[in-house]
Structure 1
Protein backbone atom coordinates (compact mmCIF):
# COMPACT_ATOMS: atom_id res chain seq x y z
CA UNK A 1 0.00 0.00 0.00
CA UNK A 2 1.51 3.34 -1.04
CA UNK A 3 2.26 5.80 1.73
CA UNK A 4 -0.22 8.26 0.23
CA UNK A 5 -2.98 5.65 0.44
CA UNK A 6 -1.90 4.65 3.94
CA UNK A 7 -2.17 8.28 4.98
CA UNK A 8 -5.65 8.47 3.46
CA UNK A 9 -6.73 5.36 5.38
CA UNK A 10 -5.45 6.60 8.73
CA UNK A 11 -6.78 10.15 8.47
CA UNK A 12 -10.11 9.11 6.95
CA UNK A 13 -10.77 6.69 9.78
CA UNK A 14 -9.47 8.82 12.66
CA UNK A 15 -10.89 12.24 11.84
CA UNK A 16 -14.61 11.45 12.50
CA UNK A 17 -13.90 10.09 16.00
CA UNK A 18 -14.84 12.56 18.80
CA UNK A 19 -11.36 12.95 20.29
CA UNK A 20 -11.04 14.84 23.57
CA UNK A 21 -8.55 17.73 23.78
CA UNK A 22 -7.21 16.85 20.34
CA UNK A 23 -4.39 18.61 18.51
CA UNK A 24 -3.65 17.70 14.89
CA UNK A 25 -0.20 18.42 13.48
CA UNK A 26 1.56 17.29 10.33
CA UNK A 27 3.33 14.56 12.29
CA UNK A 28 0.99 13.54 15.11
CA UNK A 29 -2.49 13.44 16.52
CA UNK A 30 -2.31 14.19 20.24
CA UNK A 31 -5.42 13.72 22.40
CA UNK A 32 -6.81 12.20 25.55
CA UNK A 33 -6.66 8.42 25.43
CA UNK A 34 -9.81 6.70 24.12
CA UNK A 35 -8.83 3.71 26.26
CA UNK A 36 -8.87 5.48 29.64
CA UNK A 37 -11.10 7.76 31.72
CA UNK A 38 -8.70 10.68 31.45
CA UNK A 39 -8.96 14.04 29.70
CA UNK A 40 -5.20 14.71 29.71
CA UNK A 41 -3.77 14.64 26.14
CA UNK A 42 -1.28 11.82 26.69
CA UNK A 43 -2.31 9.70 23.69
CA UNK A 44 -0.76 10.05 20.24
CA UNK A 45 -0.99 8.60 16.73
CA UNK A 46 1.99 8.95 14.40
CA UNK A 47 1.11 10.90 11.24
CA UNK A 48 4.61 11.55 9.94
CA UNK A 49 4.76 10.10 6.43
CA UNK A 50 8.53 9.63 6.80
CA UNK A 51 8.10 7.55 9.94
CA UNK A 52 7.90 3.75 9.40
CA UNK A 53 5.49 3.66 12.33
CA UNK A 54 2.88 5.74 10.52
CA UNK A 55 -0.55 5.01 12.01
CA UNK A 56 0.79 3.44 15.20
CA UNK A 57 -0.30 4.81 18.56
CA UNK A 58 1.12 5.23 22.02
CA UNK A 59 0.04 6.42 25.45
CA UNK A 60 2.63 8.29 27.50
CA UNK A 61 0.40 7.92 30.53
CA UNK A 62 0.61 4.13 30.58
CA UNK A 63 3.53 3.32 28.26
CA UNK A 64 1.25 1.19 26.07
CA UNK A 65 1.68 1.10 22.29
CA UNK A 66 -0.07 -0.56 19.41
CA UNK A 67 -0.83 -0.65 15.72
CA UNK A 68 -3.44 1.14 13.68
CA UNK A 69 -5.68 -1.90 13.10
CA UNK A 70 -5.86 -2.54 16.84
CA UNK A 71 -6.85 1.09 17.40
CA UNK A 72 -9.43 1.02 14.62
CA UNK A 73 -10.98 -2.15 16.05
CA UNK A 74 -11.46 -0.35 19.36
CA UNK A 75 -12.91 2.79 17.77
CA UNK A 76 -15.32 0.72 15.64
CA UNK A 77 -16.24 -1.64 18.51
CA UNK A 78 -15.33 -4.80 16.64
CA UNK A 79 -12.74 -7.56 16.55
CA UNK A 80 -9.24 -7.10 15.17
CA UNK A 81 -10.05 -9.42 12.28
CA UNK A 82 -13.18 -7.46 11.41
CA UNK A 83 -11.25 -4.17 11.40
CA UNK A 84 -8.59 -5.71 9.15
CA UNK A 85 -11.20 -7.01 6.74
CA UNK A 86 -12.95 -3.64 6.75
CA UNK A 87 -9.73 -1.95 5.65
CA UNK A 88 -9.13 -4.46 2.86
CA UNK A 89 -12.65 -4.16 1.51
CA UNK A 90 -12.83 -0.35 1.68
CA UNK A 91 -9.34 0.58 0.55
CA UNK A 92 -8.19 -2.20 -1.74
CA UNK A 93 -5.95 -5.23 -1.86
CA UNK A 94 -2.26 -6.01 -1.53
CA UNK A 95 0.54 -3.56 -2.44
CA UNK A 96 2.05 -4.00 -5.89
CA UNK A 97 5.57 -2.98 -4.85
CA UNK A 98 7.11 -5.05 -2.02
CA UNK A 99 9.03 -1.96 -0.88
CA UNK A 100 5.85 -0.01 -0.22
CA UNK A 101 4.70 0.46 3.36
CA UNK A 102 1.99 -2.02 4.32
CA UNK A 103 -0.54 -2.35 7.05
CA UNK A 104 0.30 -5.46 9.04
CA UNK A 105 -3.04 -7.23 8.93
CA UNK A 106 -4.00 -10.86 8.30
CA UNK A 107 -5.11 -11.97 4.85
CA UNK A 108 -8.87 -12.12 4.99
CA UNK A 109 -11.42 -12.69 2.27
CA UNK A 110 -15.17 -12.27 2.18
CA UNK A 111 -15.78 -15.93 1.48
CA UNK A 112 -13.59 -17.22 4.31
CA UNK A 113 -15.74 -19.50 6.50
CA UNK A 114 -16.43 -18.03 9.91
CA UNK A 115 -16.56 -19.93 13.18
CA UNK A 116 -20.12 -19.43 14.43
CA UNK A 117 -19.85 -21.14 17.85
CA UNK A 118 -17.30 -21.34 20.60
CA UNK A 119 -17.22 -23.70 23.56
CA UNK A 120 -19.60 -22.46 26.25
CA UNK A 121 -17.42 -24.08 28.93
CA UNK A 122 -15.23 -20.99 28.51
CA UNK A 123 -17.73 -19.15 30.72
CA UNK A 124 -17.07 -21.47 33.66
CA UNK A 125 -13.72 -19.85 34.41
CA UNK A 126 -15.40 -16.43 34.78
CA UNK A 127 -18.12 -17.28 37.29
CA UNK A 128 -17.30 -14.31 39.48
CA UNK A 129 -18.90 -10.95 40.02
CA UNK A 130 -17.53 -7.40 40.12
CA UNK A 131 -19.32 -4.28 41.33
CA UNK A 132 -18.69 -2.46 38.02
CA UNK A 133 -22.10 -3.23 36.51
CA UNK A 134 -23.96 -3.09 39.80
CA UNK A 135 -22.74 0.48 40.27
CA UNK A 136 -24.07 1.31 36.81
CA UNK A 137 -27.54 0.08 37.70
CA UNK A 138 -27.48 -3.45 36.22
CA UNK A 139 -29.39 -5.85 38.46
CA UNK A 140 -28.11 -9.21 39.60
CA UNK A 141 -31.04 -11.02 37.94
CA UNK A 142 -30.16 -9.54 34.57
CA UNK A 143 -26.45 -10.28 35.02
CA UNK A 144 -27.26 -13.90 35.75
CA UNK A 145 -29.72 -14.18 32.87
CA UNK A 146 -27.11 -12.83 30.44
CA UNK A 147 -24.34 -15.02 31.90
CA UNK A 148 -22.13 -12.07 32.74
CA UNK A 149 -18.94 -12.89 34.59
CA UNK A 150 -15.60 -11.47 35.62
CA UNK A 151 -12.04 -12.24 34.56
CA UNK A 152 -10.09 -11.70 37.78
CA UNK A 153 -6.66 -11.98 36.14
CA UNK A 154 -7.32 -9.30 33.51
CA UNK A 155 -9.78 -7.29 35.62
CA UNK A 156 -12.48 -7.36 32.98
CA UNK A 157 -16.17 -8.14 33.05
CA UNK A 158 -17.18 -10.76 30.47
CA UNK A 159 -20.20 -10.18 28.22
CA UNK A 160 -21.26 -13.28 26.25
CA UNK A 161 -22.84 -12.78 22.83
CA UNK A 162 -25.19 -15.66 22.04
CA UNK A 163 -26.42 -16.99 18.72
CA UNK A 164 -30.20 -17.27 18.13
CA UNK A 165 -30.09 -20.94 19.16
CA UNK A 166 -28.51 -20.03 22.50
CA UNK A 167 -25.02 -21.24 21.66
CA UNK A 168 -22.07 -19.01 22.50
CA UNK A 169 -20.92 -16.98 19.51
CA UNK A 170 -18.43 -14.54 21.03
CA UNK A 171 -17.26 -13.15 24.34
CA UNK A 172 -16.45 -9.50 25.00
CA UNK A 173 -14.04 -8.51 27.75
CA UNK A 174 -14.44 -5.00 29.21
CA UNK A 175 -11.86 -3.64 31.65
CA UNK A 176 -13.37 -2.29 34.86
CA UNK A 177 -10.73 0.45 35.29
CA UNK A 178 -10.57 1.78 31.72
CA UNK A 179 -12.50 1.92 28.45
CA UNK A 180 -10.42 -0.88 26.91
CA UNK A 181 -12.14 -4.01 25.62
CA UNK A 182 -11.41 -6.97 23.39
CA UNK A 183 -13.14 -10.06 22.02
CA UNK A 184 -12.47 -13.78 22.17
CA UNK A 185 -10.20 -14.95 19.35
CA UNK A 186 -11.58 -17.29 16.72
CA UNK A 187 -15.18 -16.45 17.58
CA UNK A 188 -18.11 -15.34 15.44
CA UNK A 189 -17.69 -11.78 14.09
CA UNK A 190 -19.74 -9.22 15.99
CA UNK A 191 -20.89 -7.78 12.65
CA UNK A 192 -23.04 -10.93 12.27
CA UNK A 193 -24.64 -10.73 15.72
CA UNK A 194 -27.11 -8.81 17.88
CA UNK A 195 -26.61 -8.75 21.62
CA UNK A 196 -29.52 -10.28 23.53
CA UNK A 197 -31.47 -11.42 20.47
CA UNK A 198 -31.35 -15.04 21.65
CA UNK A 199 -33.98 -14.16 24.28
CA UNK A 200 -36.39 -13.06 21.57
CA UNK A 201 -35.96 -16.41 19.84
CA UNK A 202 -36.29 -18.53 23.00
CA UNK A 203 -39.14 -16.55 24.59
CA UNK A 204 -40.92 -15.49 21.37
CA UNK A 205 -40.69 -11.82 22.28
CA UNK A 206 -42.57 -9.55 19.87
CA UNK A 207 -41.40 -6.07 20.88
CA UNK A 208 -37.96 -4.65 21.60
CA UNK A 209 -35.99 -1.48 22.03
CA UNK A 210 -32.77 -1.36 20.00
CA UNK A 211 -29.73 0.44 21.38
CA UNK A 212 -26.07 0.63 20.42
CA UNK A 213 -24.14 -0.71 23.43
CA UNK A 214 -24.56 -3.85 25.50
CA UNK A 215 -24.64 -1.90 28.76
CA UNK A 216 -27.55 0.18 27.46
CA UNK A 217 -29.47 -3.00 26.63
CA UNK A 218 -28.67 -4.35 30.11
CA UNK A 219 -29.85 -1.06 31.61
CA UNK A 220 -33.23 -1.32 29.92
CA UNK A 221 -33.54 -4.98 30.91
CA UNK A 222 -32.87 -3.95 34.51
CA UNK A 223 -35.84 -1.59 34.20
CA UNK A 224 -37.98 -4.52 33.00
CA UNK A 225 -37.84 -3.62 29.31
CA UNK A 226 -36.50 -6.02 26.71
CA UNK A 227 -33.73 -4.57 24.57
CA UNK A 228 -31.10 -5.70 22.10
CA UNK A 229 -27.84 -4.01 21.14
CA UNK A 230 -26.14 -3.76 17.78
CA UNK A 231 -22.70 -3.41 19.35
CA UNK A 232 -21.52 0.05 18.32
CA UNK A 233 -22.90 2.27 15.61
CA UNK A 234 -22.69 -0.28 12.79
CA UNK A 235 -25.75 -1.95 11.30
CA UNK A 236 -25.47 -4.15 8.23
CA UNK A 237 -27.36 -6.74 6.21
CA UNK A 238 -26.34 -9.59 8.53
CA UNK A 239 -27.77 -7.83 11.59
CA UNK A 240 -30.87 -6.82 9.62
CA UNK A 241 -31.57 -10.38 8.54
CA UNK A 242 -31.02 -11.70 12.06
CA UNK A 243 -33.58 -9.22 13.34
CA UNK A 244 -36.12 -9.89 10.57
CA UNK A 245 -35.90 -13.65 11.11
CA UNK A 246 -36.59 -13.26 14.83
CA UNK A 247 -40.08 -13.25 16.42
CA UNK A 248 -39.75 -9.48 16.96
CA UNK A 249 -42.44 -7.51 15.12
CA UNK A 250 -42.12 -4.03 16.65
CA UNK A 251 -38.99 -2.07 17.57
CA UNK A 252 -38.14 1.33 19.00
CA UNK A 253 -34.74 2.81 18.17
CA UNK A 254 -33.23 4.61 21.16
CA UNK A 255 -30.06 6.28 19.92
CA UNK A 256 -27.14 7.96 21.65
CA UNK A 257 -26.91 11.74 21.66
CA UNK A 258 -24.20 12.17 19.04
CA UNK A 259 -23.71 12.26 15.28
CA UNK A 260 -22.85 8.56 15.16
CA UNK A 261 -26.12 7.77 16.93
CA UNK A 262 -28.09 9.72 14.36
CA UNK A 263 -26.34 7.88 11.53
CA UNK A 264 -26.98 4.55 13.28
CA UNK A 265 -30.69 5.33 13.59
CA UNK A 266 -31.01 6.37 9.95
CA UNK A 267 -29.23 3.24 8.75
CA UNK A 268 -31.52 0.92 10.70
CA UNK A 269 -34.63 2.73 9.49
CA UNK A 270 -33.38 2.37 5.92
CA UNK A 271 -32.73 -1.34 6.41
CA UNK A 272 -35.90 -2.44 8.21
CA UNK A 273 -38.41 0.31 7.46
CA UNK A 274 -41.46 -1.20 5.79
CA UNK A 275 -40.51 -4.68 6.99
CA UNK A 276 -41.58 -4.23 10.64
CA UNK A 277 -43.08 -1.51 12.82
CA UNK A 278 -40.40 1.01 13.78
CA UNK A 279 -40.58 3.75 16.40
CA UNK A 280 -37.93 6.32 17.27
CA UNK A 281 -37.01 7.72 20.69
CA UNK A 282 -34.18 9.91 21.92
CA UNK A 283 -32.25 10.06 25.17
CA UNK A 284 -32.73 13.50 26.79
CA UNK A 285 -30.07 15.94 25.60
CA UNK A 286 -28.48 16.25 29.03
CA UNK A 287 -27.34 12.60 28.85
CA UNK A 288 -25.11 10.91 26.30
CA UNK A 289 -26.69 7.46 26.46
CA UNK A 290 -29.27 5.25 28.15
CA UNK A 291 -27.04 4.13 31.00
CA UNK A 292 -26.00 7.64 31.96
CA UNK A 293 -29.66 8.64 31.88
CA UNK A 294 -30.55 5.73 34.14
CA UNK A 295 -27.72 6.35 36.62
CA UNK A 296 -28.56 10.03 37.04
CA UNK A 297 -32.32 10.14 36.62
CA UNK A 298 -33.75 6.62 36.92
CA UNK A 299 -35.28 4.99 33.88
CA UNK A 300 -38.43 3.58 35.39
CA UNK A 301 -39.92 7.02 35.91
CA UNK A 302 -38.22 8.78 33.01
CA UNK A 303 -39.34 6.36 30.32
CA UNK A 304 -42.95 7.36 30.81
CA UNK A 305 -42.14 10.55 28.90
CA UNK A 306 -41.25 8.58 25.78
CA UNK A 307 -43.76 7.29 23.28
CA UNK A 308 -42.85 3.66 23.83
CA UNK A 309 -45.89 2.35 25.63
CA UNK A 310 -46.09 -0.71 23.40
CA UNK A 311 -42.59 -1.73 24.38
CA UNK A 312 -43.30 -1.24 28.07
CA UNK A 313 -45.92 -3.99 28.01
CA UNK A 314 -43.46 -6.71 27.05
CA UNK A 315 -42.41 -9.36 29.53
CA UNK A 316 -39.04 -11.05 29.70
CA UNK A 317 -38.03 -13.85 32.01
CA UNK A 318 -34.82 -12.81 33.74
CA UNK A 319 -35.10 -15.42 36.45
Structure 2
Protein backbone atom coordinates (compact mmCIF):
# COMPACT_ATOMS: atom_id res chain seq x y z
CA UNK A 1 0.00 0.00 0.00
CA UNK A 2 1.10 3.61 -0.54
CA UNK A 3 1.61 6.10 2.25
CA UNK A 4 -1.90 7.57 2.01
CA UNK A 5 -3.50 4.14 2.22
CA UNK A 6 -1.46 3.35 5.31
CA UNK A 7 -2.68 6.59 6.85
CA UNK A 8 -6.28 5.66 6.08
CA UNK A 9 -5.83 2.26 7.75
CA UNK A 10 -4.30 3.96 10.80
CA UNK A 11 -7.14 6.50 11.02
CA UNK A 12 -9.77 3.75 10.73
CA UNK A 13 -8.09 1.74 13.51
CA UNK A 14 -8.10 4.77 15.81
CA UNK A 15 -11.74 5.54 15.02
CA UNK A 16 -12.84 1.94 15.57
CA UNK A 17 -10.47 1.35 18.51
CA UNK A 18 -10.13 -2.14 17.09
CA UNK A 19 -8.07 -3.86 14.39
CA UNK A 20 -10.91 -6.24 13.58
CA UNK A 21 -13.57 -3.51 13.30
CA UNK A 22 -11.28 -1.40 11.14
CA UNK A 23 -10.53 -4.42 8.96
CA UNK A 24 -14.24 -5.11 8.53
CA UNK A 25 -14.95 -1.52 7.44
CA UNK A 26 -12.04 -1.60 4.99
CA UNK A 27 -12.76 -5.05 3.59
CA UNK A 28 -9.40 -6.40 4.78
CA UNK A 29 -8.30 -9.12 7.16
CA UNK A 30 -7.21 -8.16 10.70
CA UNK A 31 -3.73 -9.49 9.94
CA UNK A 32 -3.47 -7.27 6.86
CA UNK A 33 -4.46 -4.24 8.93
CA UNK A 34 -1.92 -5.16 11.61
CA UNK A 35 0.81 -5.49 9.00
CA UNK A 36 0.00 -2.07 7.54
CA UNK A 37 0.16 -0.44 10.97
CA UNK A 38 3.46 -2.19 11.62
CA UNK A 39 4.82 -1.07 8.26
CA UNK A 40 3.72 2.52 8.96
CA UNK A 41 5.41 2.49 12.36
CA UNK A 42 8.59 1.05 10.84
CA UNK A 43 8.65 3.71 8.15
CA UNK A 44 8.13 6.49 10.70
CA UNK A 45 10.50 4.96 13.20
CA UNK A 46 8.04 5.43 16.04
CA UNK A 47 5.36 3.49 17.89
CA UNK A 48 1.93 4.99 17.21
CA UNK A 49 -0.31 2.63 19.18
CA UNK A 50 -0.14 0.94 22.52
CA UNK A 51 -1.63 -2.54 22.15
CA UNK A 52 -3.02 -4.70 24.92
CA UNK A 53 -5.36 -7.68 24.79
CA UNK A 54 -8.25 -5.43 25.81
CA UNK A 55 -7.73 -2.09 24.17
CA UNK A 56 -5.76 0.15 21.86
CA UNK A 57 -4.55 3.61 22.79
CA UNK A 58 -2.51 6.27 21.04
CA UNK A 59 1.01 7.07 22.11
CA UNK A 60 1.93 10.74 22.39
CA UNK A 61 3.58 10.57 18.97
CA UNK A 62 0.60 8.62 17.65
CA UNK A 63 -1.83 11.31 18.81
CA UNK A 64 0.16 14.03 17.04
CA UNK A 65 0.40 11.96 13.86
CA UNK A 66 -3.30 11.04 13.99
CA UNK A 67 -4.40 14.67 14.10
CA UNK A 68 -2.60 15.39 10.83
CA UNK A 69 -3.30 12.05 9.19
CA UNK A 70 -7.02 12.34 9.84
CA UNK A 71 -7.08 15.78 8.24
CA UNK A 72 -5.25 14.48 5.16
CA UNK A 73 -7.53 11.46 4.82
CA UNK A 74 -10.64 13.62 5.21
CA UNK A 75 -9.38 16.14 2.65
CA UNK A 76 -8.69 13.37 0.13
CA UNK A 77 -12.12 11.86 0.75
CA UNK A 78 -13.70 15.27 0.33
CA UNK A 79 -11.84 15.85 -2.93
CA UNK A 80 -13.16 12.54 -4.23
CA UNK A 81 -16.69 13.38 -3.11
CA UNK A 82 -16.43 16.76 -4.83
CA UNK A 83 -15.96 14.95 -8.12
CA UNK A 84 -18.30 12.00 -7.64
CA UNK A 85 -21.13 13.94 -5.97
CA UNK A 86 -20.86 17.28 -7.73
CA UNK A 87 -24.21 16.71 -9.40
CA UNK A 88 -25.43 14.02 -7.05
CA UNK A 89 -28.14 14.01 -4.43
CA UNK A 90 -27.31 15.33 -0.95
CA UNK A 91 -26.11 12.43 1.19
CA UNK A 92 -24.04 11.59 4.24
CA UNK A 93 -23.81 13.05 7.73
CA UNK A 94 -24.17 16.81 8.08
CA UNK A 95 -22.61 18.33 11.20
CA UNK A 96 -24.36 21.56 12.18
CA UNK A 97 -23.73 24.00 15.03
CA UNK A 98 -26.07 26.74 16.27
CA UNK A 99 -26.56 29.02 19.29
CA UNK A 100 -28.62 27.35 22.02
CA UNK A 101 -31.79 29.45 22.05
CA UNK A 102 -31.98 29.94 18.28
CA UNK A 103 -31.08 26.33 17.63
CA UNK A 104 -33.83 25.01 19.89
CA UNK A 105 -36.56 27.53 19.08
CA UNK A 106 -36.07 28.05 15.35
CA UNK A 107 -33.60 25.64 13.75
CA UNK A 108 -34.78 22.38 15.33
CA UNK A 109 -38.36 22.76 13.97
CA UNK A 110 -36.92 23.08 10.44
CA UNK A 111 -35.01 19.79 10.55
CA UNK A 112 -37.93 17.41 9.88
CA UNK A 113 -38.79 19.24 6.66
CA UNK A 114 -35.19 19.35 5.51
CA UNK A 115 -34.63 15.67 6.28
CA UNK A 116 -37.87 14.66 4.58
CA UNK A 117 -36.64 16.44 1.43
CA UNK A 118 -33.18 14.89 1.76
CA UNK A 119 -33.65 11.33 3.03
CA UNK A 120 -30.01 10.35 2.44
CA UNK A 121 -28.75 13.04 4.82
CA UNK A 122 -28.36 12.46 8.56
CA UNK A 123 -27.88 15.47 10.84
CA UNK A 124 -25.59 15.84 13.85
CA UNK A 125 -26.73 19.10 15.51
CA UNK A 126 -24.81 20.64 18.40
CA UNK A 127 -26.14 23.72 20.19
CA UNK A 128 -23.95 25.95 22.32
CA UNK A 129 -23.18 29.64 22.69
CA UNK A 130 -19.40 29.40 22.82
CA UNK A 131 -17.23 30.14 19.80
CA UNK A 132 -16.79 26.98 17.74
CA UNK A 133 -13.85 26.47 15.37
CA UNK A 134 -15.56 24.82 12.42
CA UNK A 135 -12.40 23.31 10.97
CA UNK A 136 -11.00 22.01 14.24
CA UNK A 137 -14.32 20.47 15.30
CA UNK A 138 -15.30 19.15 11.88
CA UNK A 139 -18.47 21.26 11.56
CA UNK A 140 -19.93 21.43 8.04
CA UNK A 141 -22.09 24.50 8.59
CA UNK A 142 -22.94 26.76 11.54
CA UNK A 143 -25.46 29.47 12.30
CA UNK A 144 -23.97 32.62 13.78
CA UNK A 145 -25.69 35.73 15.07
CA UNK A 146 -24.09 39.15 15.28
CA UNK A 147 -21.27 40.82 13.44
CA UNK A 148 -18.87 38.33 11.89
CA UNK A 149 -15.19 38.67 12.66
CA UNK A 150 -12.80 38.63 9.72
CA UNK A 151 -12.07 35.01 8.92
CA UNK A 152 -11.73 32.53 6.11
CA UNK A 153 -15.33 31.38 6.56
CA UNK A 154 -17.88 31.78 3.79
CA UNK A 155 -21.07 33.42 5.01
CA UNK A 156 -24.62 33.72 3.71
CA UNK A 157 -26.91 36.22 5.41
CA UNK A 158 -30.23 34.66 6.38
CA UNK A 159 -32.09 37.49 8.13
CA UNK A 160 -31.73 40.68 10.13
CA UNK A 161 -31.24 40.29 13.87
CA UNK A 162 -33.26 43.14 15.32
CA UNK A 163 -32.89 43.61 19.07
CA UNK A 164 -35.04 45.50 21.56
CA UNK A 165 -34.74 46.66 25.15
CA UNK A 166 -37.61 45.30 27.21
CA UNK A 167 -38.84 44.38 30.69
CA UNK A 168 -41.81 42.79 32.42
CA UNK A 169 -44.74 45.00 33.48
CA UNK A 170 -44.07 44.04 37.11
CA UNK A 171 -40.54 45.40 36.96
CA UNK A 172 -41.61 48.68 35.33
CA UNK A 173 -44.38 49.16 37.89
CA UNK A 174 -41.87 48.66 40.67
CA UNK A 175 -38.92 50.62 39.30
CA UNK A 176 -40.45 52.97 36.75
CA UNK A 177 -40.10 53.14 32.97
CA UNK A 178 -36.91 54.71 31.55
CA UNK A 179 -37.62 57.83 29.50
CA UNK A 180 -34.12 58.16 28.06
CA UNK A 181 -31.04 56.03 27.61
CA UNK A 182 -29.41 57.86 30.52
CA UNK A 183 -32.16 56.48 32.81
CA UNK A 184 -30.84 52.95 32.21
CA UNK A 185 -27.93 53.70 34.53
CA UNK A 186 -30.27 53.57 37.54
CA UNK A 187 -31.95 50.34 36.45
CA UNK A 188 -31.08 46.68 36.89
CA UNK A 189 -29.90 45.75 33.39
CA UNK A 190 -29.25 42.06 32.80
CA UNK A 191 -26.21 41.20 30.72
CA UNK A 192 -25.32 38.55 28.12
CA UNK A 193 -21.69 37.62 28.74
CA UNK A 194 -20.79 36.32 25.27
CA UNK A 195 -21.21 39.78 23.75
CA UNK A 196 -18.02 41.77 23.35
CA UNK A 197 -18.10 44.81 25.65
CA UNK A 198 -21.22 43.26 27.09
CA UNK A 199 -22.11 46.19 29.36
CA UNK A 200 -22.01 48.69 26.49
CA UNK A 201 -25.44 49.15 24.93
CA UNK A 202 -25.56 51.17 21.70
CA UNK A 203 -28.56 53.19 20.52
CA UNK A 204 -29.53 55.38 17.56
CA UNK A 205 -32.06 57.99 18.63
CA UNK A 206 -33.32 61.52 18.13
CA UNK A 207 -29.92 62.90 19.14
CA UNK A 208 -27.87 60.50 17.07
CA UNK A 209 -25.74 57.62 18.30
CA UNK A 210 -25.54 57.02 22.06
CA UNK A 211 -23.56 54.58 24.17
CA UNK A 212 -24.71 53.60 27.65
CA UNK A 213 -22.70 51.43 30.04
CA UNK A 214 -25.22 49.47 32.08
CA UNK A 215 -25.03 47.55 35.34
CA UNK A 216 -27.09 44.81 36.91
CA UNK A 217 -27.03 41.86 39.27
CA UNK A 218 -27.31 39.05 36.71
CA UNK A 219 -24.87 38.03 33.98
CA UNK A 220 -25.27 34.84 31.96
CA UNK A 221 -23.97 33.20 28.81
CA UNK A 222 -27.45 32.06 27.74
CA UNK A 223 -30.06 34.30 26.13
CA UNK A 224 -32.96 32.13 27.28
CA UNK A 225 -31.88 32.61 30.90
CA UNK A 226 -32.02 36.38 30.36
CA UNK A 227 -35.51 36.06 28.90
CA UNK A 228 -36.76 34.01 31.85
CA UNK A 229 -35.21 36.47 34.32
CA UNK A 230 -36.90 39.37 32.55
CA UNK A 231 -40.25 37.56 32.54
CA UNK A 232 -39.80 37.08 36.29
CA UNK A 233 -39.49 40.83 36.76
CA UNK A 234 -35.81 40.86 37.63
CA UNK A 235 -34.69 43.62 35.29
CA UNK A 236 -34.28 45.10 31.83
CA UNK A 237 -32.82 43.06 28.97
CA UNK A 238 -31.50 43.65 25.48
CA UNK A 239 -32.65 40.66 23.42
CA UNK A 240 -33.50 39.79 19.79
CA UNK A 241 -37.04 39.77 18.48
CA UNK A 242 -36.72 36.14 17.41
CA UNK A 243 -36.56 35.33 21.12
CA UNK A 244 -38.92 37.85 22.75
CA UNK A 245 -41.30 38.72 19.90
CA UNK A 246 -44.16 36.54 21.21
CA UNK A 247 -43.67 37.91 24.74
CA UNK A 248 -43.99 41.46 23.42
CA UNK A 249 -47.06 40.58 21.34
CA UNK A 250 -48.82 39.00 24.32
CA UNK A 251 -47.79 41.67 26.83
CA UNK A 252 -45.53 39.52 28.99
CA UNK A 253 -42.72 41.94 28.16
CA UNK A 254 -42.93 45.61 27.20
CA UNK A 255 -40.50 47.37 24.89
CA UNK A 256 -38.57 50.11 26.66
CA UNK A 257 -37.34 53.24 24.87
CA UNK A 258 -39.15 52.47 21.58
CA UNK A 259 -38.04 55.86 20.23
CA UNK A 260 -34.47 54.50 20.19
CA UNK A 261 -33.17 51.91 17.75
CA UNK A 262 -30.56 49.34 18.71
CA UNK A 263 -28.27 48.83 15.69
CA UNK A 264 -29.18 45.64 13.88
CA UNK A 265 -26.86 42.74 13.32
CA UNK A 266 -27.57 39.65 11.20
CA UNK A 267 -28.12 35.92 11.28
CA UNK A 268 -25.72 33.99 9.04
CA UNK A 269 -25.01 30.50 7.82
CA UNK A 270 -21.23 30.02 7.69
CA UNK A 271 -19.01 27.22 6.43
CA UNK A 272 -15.27 26.72 5.89
CA UNK A 273 -13.70 28.35 2.86
CA UNK A 274 -11.44 26.55 0.45
CA UNK A 275 -13.69 23.53 0.30
CA UNK A 276 -16.09 22.31 -2.30
CA UNK A 277 -19.61 23.16 -1.21
CA UNK A 278 -21.08 19.69 -0.99
CA UNK A 279 -24.66 19.01 -2.06
CA UNK A 280 -25.70 18.34 1.56
CA UNK A 281 -24.42 21.75 2.75
CA UNK A 282 -25.90 23.55 -0.23
CA UNK A 283 -29.28 21.87 0.28
CA UNK A 284 -29.27 22.68 4.00
CA UNK A 285 -28.32 26.34 3.54
CA UNK A 286 -30.89 26.83 0.76
CA UNK A 287 -33.61 25.21 2.90
CA UNK A 288 -33.02 27.19 6.06
CA UNK A 289 -32.47 30.45 4.15
CA UNK A 290 -35.98 30.16 2.70
CA UNK A 291 -37.57 29.09 5.97
CA UNK A 292 -35.81 31.62 8.21
CA UNK A 293 -36.53 34.36 5.70
CA UNK A 294 -40.25 33.66 6.16
CA UNK A 295 -39.92 33.34 9.94
CA UNK A 296 -38.18 36.70 10.14
CA UNK A 297 -41.32 38.41 8.84
CA UNK A 298 -43.27 37.18 11.86
CA UNK A 299 -40.65 38.42 14.32
CA UNK A 300 -41.44 42.01 13.36
CA UNK A 301 -45.14 41.70 14.22
CA UNK A 302 -45.34 42.82 17.79
Shorter-chain TM band: under 0.3
Normalising to structure 1: TM-score of the pair? 0.25
More strand by share: 2
Task: State TM-score, norm by structure 2.
Answer: 0.26
Q: Which has the larger radius of gyration?
A: 2
